[in-house]
Amino acid sequence: MTTFKGIRGTTIEVLSSDPSNPEIGQIWYNSSSGTLKGYKQVNVWASGGNLNTARTYSGGAGISTAAIVWAGQTNPPGFPSFTQATELYNGTNWTSGSNYPIRVNGPFGLGTQTATLGAGGYIYGAPNTGITATFNGSAWTQSPNSLNTARQAAAGTGTQTAGIANAGSSPGGNGGFTELWNGTSWTNTTTSNTTSAGGRGLTGTQTAALAFAGGSPFVGNTESFNGSTWTNLNSMNTARSNLGYAGTQTSALGFGGYTPSTTSATELWNGTAWTSNPTGLATSRAQIASGNLGSQSSALAIGGRNSPAATPGATELWTGVGTKTITAS
């Protein structure tokens, strides 16, 4: 029979207290608590710089060291206050940038900090919009061409010259409407199999995308897109909407959202299935900045709502591999 000593060449230590600097893979028996413990690798979230303007339902894009966020709602429901404010992140702090062309809630974004695309959303007291704008690192320019289906809470990924938008709430109902951006205009393409409104995650590229989750009702449905066709895949472990997302079609990250209550749950996609991470966001939240914000090993959770009456400005950084002490039951 295989033993721990045979595998590691040592016996399990008996200690009266946990070691102050354990090694990854170390196992010990805590004689004071009567528990078997070990130290392993996990993926973790860390605190980042707070937004200057706390907001929810904003657009976002970029990577963990060079991100951008714009628009959104700064007050809780019942007292809507939509903003045009844009902020830029350098990995540590947020600084103000030029205003987005309109005050809007629920836009989506894609691209990088210096080549950004923003579109869609809800204008207070008016219908949903399909307005599209580009950002060059210093200023926004509104495009003469809008989304074909005006919507809010859609998801976007890709680049400023080759993007994709999926789902969202629109006057025509909550659908899986999908549009492709060629750098100049939007073109309708195949509707996704999941037509459950907005708040989806969308990662990857225009020809290799991954869409997941969504609301009304809350689902964990996952689909891949090859540029023309959607294919159903294994669902998330926690059905949700209005989550944060990052990564590619084969290596994605989904975090937070409504279940319908806010959640901190974080999951990783390996191209086949989702795995729940042992640790979630420090602040349970939904309506996180909408856009593909990083990779599976380094991503950002920006702003959002953690209760009906709170709009946090907190930024959290997904730092990849960390360590954690585990206790055997």
Contacts of 1 (CB under 8 A, 6+ apart): none
Query: What is the tens place of the pLDDT at every residue in 105-160?
Result: 999 999 999 999 999 999 988 889 999 999 999 999 999 999 999 999 999 999 99
Report d(CA 48, CA 89) in Å as an integer: 10
Query: What is the tens place of the pLDDT at every residue in 262-277?
Result: 999 999 999 999 999 9
Q: Quick one: pLDDT at residue 40?
A: 64
Q: Which of 240-244, 251-255, 308-312 has the lowest mean pLDDT?
A: 308-312
pTM: 0.85
Report d(CA 1, CA 306) in Å as an integer: 50
CATH 2.120.10.80 fits 43-321, yes or no: yes
DSSP state of 49: P
Contacts of 221 (CB under 8 A, 6+ apart): 193, 194, 196, 212, 213, 214, 232, 235, 236
Q: Quick one: pLDDT at residue 10?
A: 58
Domain range summary for the chain, segments of one domain joined by + = 4-42, 43-321
* Highest-pLDDT range among 3-7, 214-218, 230-234: 230-234
Query: What is the tens place of the pLDDT at every residue in 11-58?
Result: 788 989 888 777 767 888 888 888 888 776 667 899 999 999 999 999
